[in-house]
Amino acid sequence: MNISGLNLPLRDEKPRQHGLTVLIDNGLPIEYFKDMVNSSAEFIDFIKFGWGTSIVTGKLIEKIECLKENNIDYFFGGTLFEKFLSQGKLDQYYLYCKKFDCKYIEISNGTMELTNKEKANFISEFSEEFNVFSEVGQKDADKADETTSSDWIEFIKEDFEAGATKVITEARESGTSGLCKATGEVRMKIVEDILTSSINIKDVIFEAPNKTMQSLFIKYVGSNVNLANISFSDTIPLETLRLGLRSDTFYLVNFDWGSIREGQK
Question: Contact residues for a second copy (CB under 8 A)?
Answer: 1-2, 4-8, 26-32, 35-36, 38-40, 43, 51-53, 55-59, 79-80, 82-84, 86-87, 89, 92, 95-96, 110-112, 139, 172, 174, 211, 233, 235-237, 239-240, 243-247, 250
* Shortest distance, position 196 Cβ to a second copy, whole Å: 29
Q: Is 89 helix (H, G, I), strand (E, B) or coil?
A: coil
* Shortest distance, position 48 Cβ to a second copy, whole Å: 14
Pick the closer one to a second copy by CB: 11 or 157.
11
Walk across the sheet containing 204-207 and list its strands: 73-76, 46-49, 21-25, 226-231, 204-207, 166-169, 131-136, 104-107
Pick the closer one to a second copy by CB: 92 or 150.
92
Q: Mark 158-193 as b/e (b = at least 16 C-beta within 10 Å).
A: bbbebbbbbbbbbbbeebbbbbbeeeeebbeebbeb
Pick the closer one to a second copy by CB: 146 or 250.
250
* Shortest distance, position 185 Cβ to a second copy, whole Å: 14
d(CA 210, CA 27): 19
* Shortest distance, position 36 Cβ to a second copy, whole Å: 4
d(CA 153, CA 243): 29
* Shortest distance, position 141 Cβ to a second copy, whole Å: 11
Report CA-CA distances (Å) from 15 to 31, 81, 144, 244. 25, 26, 33, 22
Pick the closer one to a second copy by CB: 87 or 264.
87
d(CA 178, CA 62): 33
Pick the closer one to a second copy by CB: 139 or 187.
139
* Shortest distance, position 233 Cβ to a second copy, whole Å: 7
Q: Is 261 helix (H, G, I), strand (E, B) or coil?
A: helix
Pick the closer one to a second copy by CB: 53 or 169.
53
d(CA 63, CA 162): 31
Q: Is 49 helix (H, G, I), strand (E, B) or coil?
A: strand
